[in-house]
Structure 1
């Protein structure tokens, strides 16, 4: 695969640091160093016009290690705010078959490069270690930057290295295609991947102790036309608390859940599927709950763009069976109830930030007064240079708690979270802002301490 690196400079600046004697001398040296122009401290090989491409990385996806990218990619200047950038790079990711992930890099030119846009992707395998994934993303990042570095008049400072040996690109590309075809037709697992996990937690104190064990198992199969997955998970919890009067309270709770999903791609905008779930939970008074729901989904944007923007409408109708530990407020110990669910969700990731808005409606069909409505939203908006505002919240009207036990709750059950309390609403909200000022450059990575 071709790689790109800056041409070696003819001279290198090597700062010399003397020994530090005492805290006052360290502070004096710090102020003296900060008086020098920061660009001079951070510069490597300059371009012919003395300016390097200034890049703003906008990344919230998995494996977004900005320190790694800034350490490995040194032929651009990294900036802290998009208003200072010549190039805005948005990195997103989504899951693919085999447990891997597809990382999408959207390159968006700004200022003199406005209108110059590009997109590259890198796909990792589910068995890749994190270092290999980061190296693959970094190589893809470097290739995407070449176009903009050349546009900035710095092409003479780049070298292209071909690592395919003496064979031609056509031969290497043909072999790669044959390997992919062989992998697709000769896969003994037929695109299925499986995972097994086991984790434990131990917290021991003189008057309190807690032990947890969490086994899990799952699998998935993802192709362009079909998506299948299933999962099983359990939580085994043992807790002991000694009260002030010497009494000992035990809080032992075991719970499990399992689920499966099958989705068929109909068009670039429409999918149909079946969702099945089962669970038990002492806090929900459910010894067993089984749910089955076919559904249809429409996305205004093509699913191929879902990592940047989506506007989804979803409708499903199904049935659930519940077997309760205790008689419910409706006087039953088990029941089967039909229901339907409608939801829409909008999400966008743009240069100005990101935003999301969602609405969900759930209703039991045997008694339409048993329903819930929920509205949620969040926005992260870059108002101006260095200033970003973050808002999020959700509100729900709740009238579908058919599982609530008819018996009275003890204070002990409430404090230990053994029961769900009846409620008619749920609200949550948060607001905040971040303001960054000072140097616009972010080239240096210092991992000491």
Structure 2
């Protein structure tokens, strides 16, 4: 038994030593060939990291910011016709103070492959100024393709920046004693420019759930539960200055779950951003104030004995977002109250934090909390067990909450350049 254990130990030791030798030999070969690469820390949420690392071979990607020569932060933001990526490049060590920012735009009409190829092109461009100071420049070729035709198409836009969308989704699942079908669809029109944003959207949702059971007499009993809703929103936002904007908002909805036969509302608001809007990809602290009116026709008489009513409300909200080398933090706070009774109000706060405590150790925190005192639409009468279990009807509550915490610690080799898709 002892001899067998000794043999296993020797085998493992030889395996580890062979891998160390291979790695050391590869490192020496790279040095002899003069392939002097800069080390890059890729900091990108919801990006295809593996694809970027596979396609950008003239740098070494490392897994910790402290080991990098360059810190590449990529953020993304939805716009009227696609997604805008902001590439913020921060120099470290010998490159300290040599920072740069590039912007890449991917249209909704781009396929996933076109989008990721376009992003990689801009990653290469963002890193080139740093690579040009190393011997790796000898292995890089630069090419340029002129496309006057594509430029003309962009200058002569017959749609005048309008983007239209029609969508529909359905799903079906079930088993012997139950089945469900869901359908949702909608229409939208959107036009976004630097000075104005117009959004029009309609959505329809339908959900049908059927349950069956066979009683002692052999009869098949079925229970069918249906929820449906319609929702329309129209928003018009105007840019006033680098820090101020204003907007007009309209909405209409119908919902069996929320006890609305019809609800129609309109409002106007103003927003102030402490930082210029052009810095949205790095930092934002904004405040919004909106006043509005809404007329409601209820499906059932409410707990306040109302079949219909007109309400006036005001809302104050704030948004904070920072994306920095140490991590990111975002938060939203919202306070809304009805004018006729300030006790009928709602306060909501959401926070998310990703923070690097020290080398290799990352902390993730998120949480939400709501104080709810504005449910004027709750129908009178008791809620059935089926309505409660299946969430068929909005239920009375004075608060809601949620929280998440996570820690991640990594150690080992600082390089993560290789991509291996096998198995």
Q: What is the CA-CA distance between 1:32 and the residue it aligns to?
A: 5.9
Distance change (3 Å), C-alpha of 1:49 and 1:162 = closer
Extract unaligned runs of 5+ from structure 1.
Answer: 1-25, 165-171
Q: Is 2:159 the counterpart of 1:189?
A: yes
Extract unaligned runs of 5+ from structure 2.
Answer: 1-10
Distance change (3 Å), C-alpha of 1:77 and 1:419 = same
Q: Is 2:73 the counterpart of 1:52?
A: no
Distance change (3 Å), C-alpha of 1:71 and 1:407 = same
Partners of 2:348 and 2:302 in 1: how far apart? Answer: 24
Distance change (3 Å), C-alpha of 1:31 and 1:294 = same
Partners of 1:126 and 1:307 in 2: how far apart? Answer: 20
Normalised to the residue count of structure 1, the TM-score between the two structures is 0.85
Deviations 1:122-172 (A, max 9, x none): 112221111111111111111111111123x335424342333xxxxxxx5
Q: What corresponds to 1:211 in structure 2?
A: 181
Q: Is the CA contact 1:45–1:75 (under 8 Å) kept in the aligned structure 2?
A: no
Q: Which range moves more in the overlay, 122-131 or 82-91?
A: 122-131
Partners of 2:126 and 2:229 in 1: how far apart? Answer: 48
Partners of 1:307 and 1:211 in 2: how far apart? Answer: 40
Deviations 1:251-276 (A, max 9, x none): 21111212111111111111111122
Q: For 1:188-337, what aligned pairs fall within 5 Å after superposition?
A: 188-242=158-212, 247-337=221-311
Q: For 1:106-185, what aligned pairs fall within 5 Å after superposition?
A: 106-151=88-133, 153-154=134-135, 156-164=137-145, 180=151, 183-184=154-155
Q: What corresponds to 2:7 in structure 1?
A: none
Normalised to the residue count of structure 2, the TM-score between the two structures is 0.90
Q: What is the CA-CA distance between 1:402 and the residue it aligns to?
A: 0.5
Q: What is the CA-CA distance between 1:298 and the residue it aligns to?
A: 0.8
Q: Which range moves more in the overlay, 248-257 or 270-279?
A: 248-257
1:87 to 70, 89, 95: 70
Q: What is the CA-CA distance between 1:231 and the residue it aligns to?
A: 1.2
Distance change (3 Å), C-alpha of 1:415 and 1:51 = same
Q: What corresponds to 1:36 in structure 2?
A: 21
Q: What is the CA-CA distance between 1:188 and the residue it aligns to?
A: 1.9
Partners of 1:423 and 1:38 in 2: how far apart? Answer: 60
Deviations 1:356-376 (A, max 9, x none): 232211000011111112222
Residue 67 of structure 1 aligns to a residue whose secondary structure is helix
Q: What corresponds to 2:402 in structure 1?
A: 428
Distance change (3 Å), C-alpha of 1:215 and 1:182 = closer
Deviations 1:26-51 (A, max 9, x none): 98996465333546558985588764
Q: Is the CA contact 2:228–2:257 (under 8 Å) kept in the aligned structure 1?
A: no
How many residue pairs get matched? Answer: 412
Residue 142 of structure 1 aligns to a residue whose secondary structure is helix
Residue 107 of structure 2 aligns to a residue whose secondary structure is coil
Distance change (3 Å), C-alpha of 1:140 and 1:206 = same
Distance change (3 Å), C-alpha of 1:47 and 1:297 = farther
